[in-house]
Amino acid sequence: MKSLIEIPRKMEALVLEGVGDLRQETVDVPELKEGTVLVKIKACGICSSDIPRIFVTGTYHFPTIPGHEFSGQIVAIGDGVDEALLGKKTCVFPLLPCGSCKACGLEEYAQCSGYSYFGSRCDGAYAEYLVAPVWNLVPFSDSLSYEVAALCEPAAVSLHAVDIGQIKEGQNVMIIGTGTIGFLIGAFAKKASKTGKVIVCGRSQNKLDYAKKLGFETVNPKDEPIPDAIRRITGSDGADVCFEAVGTNEAIENAIRATGALGRIVLVGNPASDLALPKDVYWSILRKQITVAGSWNSSYNSRVNDWAKALEIFESGELNVKELITHTFPISEQEKAFAALKDPSEFTVKVMFTFD
């Protein structure tokens, strides 16, 4: 083992002791093993999936340290690790595949049947330090801040969805959802469509106002039904490609009704409860011969690496993703961080914990 610092025995972390019981605690710094590195966490985003995980459903066991959207510096390395990694800035692919199932054999690790995952199935990055295997490291250049790099996880998820959408130049694209994923999908969709319209739909007017500033067309279903608005804006029978990034019955129905003949729908949103489709909506899929595809996590393999692609886009400077980070807090102010996210009157896109 080699290190840049004297590794402390204890660290501060937000520990989920039970549903709704998130506490700042002093815990042991995780131990380095062969083939792993110690990452000093610098920034960790609060994912929308963290909200139900912390306050509604819980994680897979208690106690757990949440957090899977993060970046940091490699401050120590275990045996067998290249010393050149010491001091590097890095993101971390949070999925830990089993390596032996059918999906792993195909390098489709997001579909692994026996995976672990930082922040839900094992301890994550609402903490000062985390130990990660070298295989999961995604180093980035000094030109990026730790906060921007921590957007790599939602960006990789968004790129994966956009790839599944198979957007062609000139096609009209609709996104239902105004979270971080929705905005990032919109940015990547605009890049793919070039001359087509990209329309963001949601109920939060302050987020729609922000979407307009980013150059998107917008629809608020409080003012006009989404299918009617999409047909009006596109001047056709509906969107060519739709991304549903909410995960509710209403959002999925609107996606189907607002997608044109021979269109494509990519389902990205995580549902909070069971879903059901009215018969006429299901028939609409058949009659318009719509392709419906699911998107889960991101590609991270020898053929496609959404993480490396996202960092390359960030480093090019072509997208001003820093604007998506609306709030940062130390973990000592976790109550303020979650209060901001839960307050509908507060404009938030990405809320992050940051560390010294």
Give me the percent of the chain exceeding a pLDDT of 70: 100
Domains and CATH numbers, the chain: 2-150+320-354 (3.90.180.10), 155-294 (3.40.50.720)
The vertex-183 CA angle with 317 and 241, nearest 5°, equals: 110
Question: pLDDT at position 135, please?
Answer: 98
d(CA 46, CA 338): 9
**What is the dihedral sign for C-alpha 337, 343, 345, 349?**
positive
pLDDT tens digits, one per residue of 168-227: 999 999 999 999 999 999 999 999 999 999 999 999 999 999 999 999 999 999 999 999
pLDDT for res 36? 98
Is residue 64 pLDDT above 90, yes or no? yes
Using alpha carbons only, how large is the chain's radius of gyration in Å? 21
* pLDDT for residue 110: 97
In tens, the pLDDT along 241-253 reads: 999 999 999 999 9
Amino acid at 240: D
Token pair recorded at residue 348: 């938030």
Band the pLDDT of 60: cuts 50, 70, 90: very high
Q: What is the pLDDT of residues 136-179, one digit of tens each?
A: 999 999 999 999 999 999 999 999 999 999 999 999 999 999 99
Q: By the 8 A CB rule, do 5 and 315 touch?
A: no
Task: Tell me what pLDDT residue 330 has.
Answer: 98
Distant-in-sequence, close-in-space partners of 12: CB < 8 Å, separation ≥ 6: 24, 25, 26, 27, 127, 128, 331
Task: Check residue 272 and give its pLDDT.
Answer: 87
Do residues 201 and 252 lie in contact, with contact meaning Cβ atoms separated by under 8 Å?
A: no
Question: Distance between CA 184 and CA 67 in Å, rounded?
Answer: 20
What is the distance of C-alpha 147 from the center of its chain? 14
For tokens 């710094």, name the residue.
29
pLDDT digits (tens, 9 = 90+) for 6-54: 999 999 999 999 999 999 999 999 999 999 999 999 999 999 999 999 9
- pTM of the entire structure? 0.96
**Angle at CA 62, nearest 5°, toward 67 and 246?**
45
Q: How far is CA 155 from CA 53, 91, 141, 259, 330, in A?
A: 21, 12, 17, 24, 23
Average pLDDT, the chain: 97
